[in-house]
Amino acid sequence: MKYGEKEIKEFNVEKDLEIWKSEYKRDYLIKMTLPEFSCLCPRSGYPDYATIYLEYSPNEWVVELKAIKLYINSFRDRYISHENSANEIYEVLEKKLRPRFLKVVADYNPRGNVHTIIEIDSSKILQINQS
């Protein structure tokens, strides 16, 4: 097993998703594009591919870039649905970072004539809960 495969296989989100203290108290937005997301369909085992878009406004913490890369790559051999993968990513970042704002978009490549986009946006969730 090569060192990168070992890092991905052994990645533990609880201990390995490194976060750093944000040095700035102002509001600012961090945007990340992760174009090589993959996982396995829990029904067929076929690979699914997506681009993951992350946006967040830090409160006290930011995620370290290599750690988020390894976390996203840790999905590649997992049987997990589109909805569950997007929701897990959102929940992990929400719990670890406690950001002012968080948005996760999982834009899956079409397969079988179906194109899926899962979007979880804390500002929209707040609006729905206030209605």
Catalytic residue ranges: 41, 48
Q: Are 122 and 103 in contact (CB under 8 A)?
A: yes
Task: Please state the length of the chain.
Answer: 131
Cα separation of 42 and 49, whole Å? Answer: 14
The β-bridge relationship of strands 61-63 and 19-21 is antiparallel
Cα separation of 6 and 78, whole Å? Answer: 15
Q: Are 35 and 94 in contact (CB under 8 A)?
A: no
